[in-house]
Each structure stands twice: as structure tokens, then as C-alpha cells.
Structure 1
Amino acid sequence: MGFKTVLCLTGADHSDQDIRTAAGLCAEVGAHLSVRIIPAPMLAMSYLPIGDGIPEWPTGRGQTMATLNNRYRQIDRFSQDVPRLERRSKDIQRLLRAMCLSYDVDTDYPDATGLGEVVRQHARCADLTLVGPALLNDSILGPLVINGSLFDTGKPVLIVPDGAEATLWPRRVLVGWDSRLEACRAVREALGLLCAAQEVCVALVDPKANYNGNGAEPGADIAAYLTRHGARVSVDRLPSGGKPVAAVLAQHAIDRSADMIVMGAYGSRRLRERLFGGVTRWIFEKPILPLFMAR
């Protein structure tokens, strides 16, 4: 499938690095770039509806005053954020106009509890969400954006660490395969770039015949599927030697001179924060390669 809309979420104080990376990808494949600017949420409080009166709480006047103080702090924070976000929006639009891209730029003002839903809404209307170095280094926005775009959307995420060469036309791609649903979805979402690549290496770590849907020759089924779509596929079955699967795949990506790793994103809802931690550890400890993930 072609990537026609790329979503890039950026913080109000982030550099232009992620925007430039996303713009480069869009220019490469002729896609539309949708940019959303989001201020760091105030994690200790939420935006409160302003009505005609102040709700009275069972705990008494102290709780009511705390509610009022929170509301005033939110209003003050909002009044400070708006001019800053408007300046950021104008700067980004000026940058993108110079690149002659199809684009739109907008701002959102969600609180911490609503940010995930805002991200999901935008990601559902895009073919791909880019997570660049600025978001990866943002300990507040980063996890919320990855979780919101990767889970519950059915859409893929391209994670590009600092120093990686971002492309949607990779020459060599390593696919981490284990026949699970998440791996199937990652392959399906990456099908266009896999078929255009010069080499696709399907890598299985400690595969077992007739186990987990692998068949008598683990990897042969997915290789045949990709071949019928026109991809040039080889299958490598790798022993872990007691090492973590991620470490084995990362080293094999180096050995095969891969330009990108495609893999499924695993984990329950309760493990989402751990997923972000795992991704960031992968990024900083493993080879500097774009990581294409789907769930």
C-alpha cells in the first residue's frame, strides 16, 4: 500500500528535526504531511469545565479552593501556551512552504488524560505516524504519542532515532518474523516498501517446525506470500544462543546491511509504558536504523 498521508506530532519547544525528517519522507513518496503541535500536558491536573458555579466536594472548603487554584493555573498556562504555539505554527508553515509540500499544520490543547485520544484520532486518518528523535527524547510526550498512535489504530509507526537515515524506499529490509498477529500486521502495512526493496530478509529466532503456525519449514509460508507480491525474499533461521531476540535481530540487521527493521509491536495495554521503554532502549543500544512497527 502507498503512504499518502504522514502524521508528525511535535512539541511546542521541540526542534525542527522531526518536521524535516517527516517532510523528507513525504517528498520522497509524494505524500501529504499533517503536523500537529501539542504542548506538554500538565500531568498533575486536568482541564476543568467552567460553569456557572463551583462544585462543592464532600471534603469541604479546602477541596473547593484546591479546585479553584488548579483552574486558575490551567487558565494561566493556557494563556501562556497560545502565543507560543501560534509562533511555532507559523515557523513550521514557513519551513514547509519553502519545501513545496502538500501539508497542513494545526495545534491541539489536550490535557494528560485526553492526549492519547487526540493522537489516536489523528493517527487513524493517516497512513503512517513518524516518531523522530525529538519525541524519543521527550519523556512526557514520547510515550503518550507512541502509545496513542500504535495501539487501537491499526496503523503503523516509523521510529527514526537520531542519526538514522529515514526513507520509505529502503534497499534492504530485515523482517522480524514469528507468525504472530502483530508480525502479520507489520508485514501487511509495510508491504509496499517490502516489494520495492532490493532485498528482504525474513529472520526467525529459534523457530520450531509445526509450532506457532510456522509449518514444516519455518518462514517458508511468509516468504512465499511476499514472493507472490513481487518481493525478493530470503529466510534466515537464527539461534538465540541465550541472547534476547531483539539483540539477535539487531545484530543480524547489521550483518545484512539492512536499512530498516520491520517488526510487530507486542504487549498488553498494561505494558504500554514498558513498550516505550523497550523501544527507547532498542534505539539507544542497538544499530541506528529506522524501526517500522505495527500492532
Structure 2
Amino acid sequence: MDRTTTLFVINQDTPDNVISEVADAAAEKQARLSCLLLGPAPPLPTYAYGVPPYGAMNIPPNWVKIVEKEQQALNHRVNEVEALLARSGPAGDVIGHLCATTDIKHLVGTRARVCDIAHIAPHLHDAPDIMREAAHGVLFRSPIGLMLNAAPYRPVSRVFVAWNSSDAAAKAVHAALPYLLAAQEVVIGCFDPVITADKEGADPGTDVAAWLSHRGCTVTVTQYPSGGREIAQCLQDRAKEGGADLLVMGAYGHTRMVQAVFGGTTRTLMEQTDLPVLLAH
């Protein structure tokens, strides 16, 4: 990950030590750190008078002052984060935005398009709306991968790849290629593979293993039965059993709406905090 650019999504509550740790690692790798600091925009308080279309909307006279106060607080935090980066020494920038939750995916996606990997500050697991929309911006509005539960510069020696021959899985492997090439061992894990010519082939996982082996990776292919258990839990168990430092997985193989309503593998892996995960869609 030398000389790459990482998008680091934070908010005003992101601890200084978390930012400094990522910045120190970026400086060591001669990487560029692009910090996107998201602040919640104050909700617009409006009051209606009369009956539409003859009524009118009234905005309180102190509304501008409320926004200015929030913007000043955000700017102050931007300056503090810039000072943290200056002490650590990596190249980079800090951009702050006051935004509604629905705008986060657009802002994150736009920044992610000119970065190599994205990382969301771990404490944002406690702000699920921000986490969800930031992840959406990376996965659906940019071509890069999303790293959760570990800084992108953290070295890995064993990587577990969840493989099912889907477009999302293939994009995840491509996004994770720098980590795969640096790892001592790569395990390709196929769960309940569909062994047909038009699905995952006669020997699922061997095609991606051959490609990675040619690139210089030490690769093992394993096919697992889920036994009716949730795939997300099977993935975590197998990765941890093998001592994996990183799980690589395609995100949202099913539609985002289905996963939001019924749950799914991607949602479960995004919510857990024990295992470093690299996702791509």
C-alpha cells in the first residue's frame, strides 16, 4: 500500500489518537491520507401558516446563526485534524462538510473516486446511519474497496477470500490484490458451491486460485458446506480458525433493499467489529 491514497471517513467525535494512529501509519508507508470530516447539518425548523397553496412557510430568524455556529465548530475541528496530520507527517488533506444523512453517500462516493481504498473510523459503528450511508457511497458510487475494523496500512499475513464467482467477489479480489500479494498465505473459501458449468464451474475456486498463484500468491482452495448455518457466521468462523488477518468479500450479492429488510451476509459482516474486512461491490 505504499504511495496510495486512503479516504478516511471521520466525524467531529473521532478521537485524536485514532486519527494520529492512521496518520502515523500513512507517513510510514509514504501514503496520502484524505480525511473527510462529516458534521450533521442542523435540521431546518419551518412553520406553516395558513392552508396551502395560500399559506406560507416561516423560517425562524435565528436559523442563520445556528448554521454559522455549527459551521464554525466544524471548521475548528478541521483545523485540529490538520494539526494532527502535520505532526504525523503524511501528505493529505482534510475536508469538512455539514450535511444531511442522505447526502453522505454522495459526498463519500465523490471523494472515493480519486482514492485507492476507503476506511471508516471504527467508532462510527455507534452511528449506524453515518456508517451505512458512508459504506453505500464507497461501494455503490466508487470503484474502490472499503476496509473495516483495521487501518488499510496494517500488514496482513493470512487472507481469507470468500469466493462464489460473482461480479462482486471478483471486484473484491481485485481491490484486495495488494494485500493478497503481500500475504504469506491466501485461502479461497467456497461455501455451498454450485458445481455446474454455468455457475461456479466443475471445481469452484480453482480459477481464481490459478490467477493468484501466477501473480505469486501462495493459495489454498477449500470448499465448505454451510450445514444450513448463516453464511456470515460460517465466514467468520472459518477465517478465525485459519488465523486470517483479513477477510475479503464481495458486498451486496443480493439487492441492498433485500439485505436492509431481511438482513444478509454483507450487513452482518459490516456490523461485526472483531474481524478486519475488505468489501467491494
Q: TM-score, normalised by structure 1?
A: 0.83
Give 1:251's match in structure 2, choosing from 219, 233, 237: 237
- Give 1:108's aligned residue: 97
Offset, 1:93: 1.6
SS of residue matched to 2:10: strand
SS of residue matched to 1:105: strand
Contact 1:37 1:108 in 2 (8 A): yes
User: What is the alpha-carbon distance in structure 2 between the residues aligned to residue 21 and residue 150 of structure 1?
Assistant: 25
Structure 1 residues 276 and 288, CA gap change in structure 2 (3 angstroms): same
Structure 1 residues 165 and 125, CA gap change in structure 2 (3 angstroms): closer
User: What is the alpha-carbon distance in structure 1 between the residues aligned to residue 235 and residue 192 of structure 2?
Assistant: 11
Give 1:130's match in structure 2, choosing from 119, 130, 133: 119
Verify: 1:282 aligned to 2:274, yes or no: no
Contact 1:177 1:219 in 2 (8 A): yes
Amino acid in structure 2 at the alignment position of 1:37: L
Describe the superposition over 1:193-233 as per-residue Cα deviations: whole angstroms up to 9, x where unpaired: 10110000000011132255422111111100111111110
Offset, 1:236: 1.0
Structure 1 residues 276 and 239, CA gap change in structure 2 (3 angstroms): closer
- Give 1:22's aligned residue: 22
User: What is the alpha-carbon distance in structure 1 between the residues aligned to residue 132 and residue 45 of structure 2?
Assistant: 18
Contact 1:158 1:293 in 2 (8 A): yes
User: What is the alpha-carbon distance in structure 1 between the residues aligned to residue 94 and residue 269 of structure 2?
Assistant: 31
Describe the superposition over 1:245-271 as per-residue Cα deviations: whole angstroms up to 9, x where unpaired: 111111111110000000000143535
Relative to its length, the structure with more strand (as a share) is: 2
- Give 2:257's aligned residue: 270
Contact 2:27 2:91 in 1 (8 A): no
SS of residue matched to 1:214: coil
SS of residue matched to 2:155: coil
- Give 2:40's aligned residue: 40
- Give 1:230's aligned residue: 216
Contact 1:28 1:168 in 2 (8 A): no
User: What is the alpha-carbon distance in structure 2 between the residues aligned to residue 124 and residue 207 of structure 1?
Assistant: 33
SS of residue matched to 1:207: coil
SS of residue matched to 2:98: coil
Structure 1: runs of 5 or more not aligned? 48-55
- Give 2:174's aligned residue: 188
Structure 1 residues 278 and 252, CA gap change in structure 2 (3 angstroms): closer
Amino acid in structure 2 at the alignment position of 1:58: P
- Give 1:52's aligned residue: none
User: What is the alpha-carbon distance in structure 2 between the residues aligned to residue 73 and residue 233 of structure 1?
Assistant: 63
SS of residue matched to 1:34: strand
Verify: 1:172 aligned to 2:158, yes or no: yes
Q: Percent identity?
A: 28
- Give 2:4's aligned residue: 4
Alignment length (residue pairs)? 277
SS of residue matched to 1:215: coil
Give 2:140's match in structure 1, choosing from 144, 147, 151: 151
Structure 2: runs of 5 or more not aligned? none
Structure 1 residues 84 and 28, CA gap change in structure 2 (3 angstroms): same
Verify: 1:199 aligned to 2:199, yes or no: no
RMSD: 2.9
- Give 1:120's aligned residue: 109
Describe the superposition over 1:104-139 as per-residue Cα deviations: whole angstroms up to 9, x where unpaired: 112123333333211111011111110121222113
User: What is the alpha-carbon distance in structure 2 between the residues aligned to residue 22 and residue 271 of structure 1?
Assistant: 34
Contact 1:2 1:192 in 2 (8 A): no
